[in-house]
Amino acid sequence: MFLEEAIKKRRSIRTYTTKPLTLAALSQLLFAAQGITTEHNGYALRSAPSAGAVYPFDIYVIVNNVENVRQGIYRYHVDDHALELIKSGDFRAQSSDACLGQETVRRGAVTFLW
Ligand SMILES: Cc1cc2nc3c(=O)[nH]c(=O)nc-3n(C[C@H](O)[C@H](O)[C@H](O)COP(=O)(O)O)c2cc1C
């Protein structure tokens, strides 16, 4: 599919399969969000732009349903493309409550926090 066609056809969706997300798919999403793509003049440049290449935020992932990954809150370490477990547990209810009770947040395999 051409990019233009993908842009025209895209819509937000709020219903998901209950099948677990694969770790490979989560890895791909994290790379697309903030992965390091090249080094330039001493800067590790990433897949998404940032003013002054300072990338002034972190990504956390709430894992609800990912193959072979324990439920919990993880921090994404960009430098080594790795997840660090911050707190294990089921955070579906809390994360949904924090998003004004949106059910869609409870049902997702993962929730990304910036
Ligand atoms: C900054 C931002 C925040 C959003 N927050 C939510 C949200 O909390 N819940 C939700 O269901 N959709 C959210 N959306 C998606 C919008 O509701 C959606 O993009 C809009 O209705 C247009 O529909 P479309 O994405 O299908 O074209 C958000 C979109 C943006 C850009």
Task: Measure 43 CA to ligand 1 centroid, in angstroms.
Answer: 33
Distances (CA, A) of 33 to 22, 60, 88, 105, 113: 17, 11, 23, 19, 11
Residue 17, helix vs strand vs coil: coil
The answer to whether the beta carbons of residues 25 and 17 sit under 8 Å apart is no
- Ligand 1 in contact with 98 (CB < 6 A)? no
CA-CA distance, 61 to 57, in Å (whole number)? Answer: 13
CA dist 74 and 62 (Å) reads 6
Instruction: Give the global pTM.
Output: 0.92
Does residue 13 belong to any structural domain of this protein? no
Give pLDDT tens digits for 42-68: 999 999 999 999 999 999 999 999 999
- List the residue whose alpha carbon is closest to atom 16 of ligand 1: 12
For the chain, the domain total comes to 1
Question: Which of 7, 8, 10, 12 to probe ligand 1 with, by most ligand atoms within 8 A of CB?
Answer: 12
Give the domain CATH number at 86: 3.40.109.10
Report the pLDDT value the prediction gives residue 101, as an integer from 0 to 100.
97
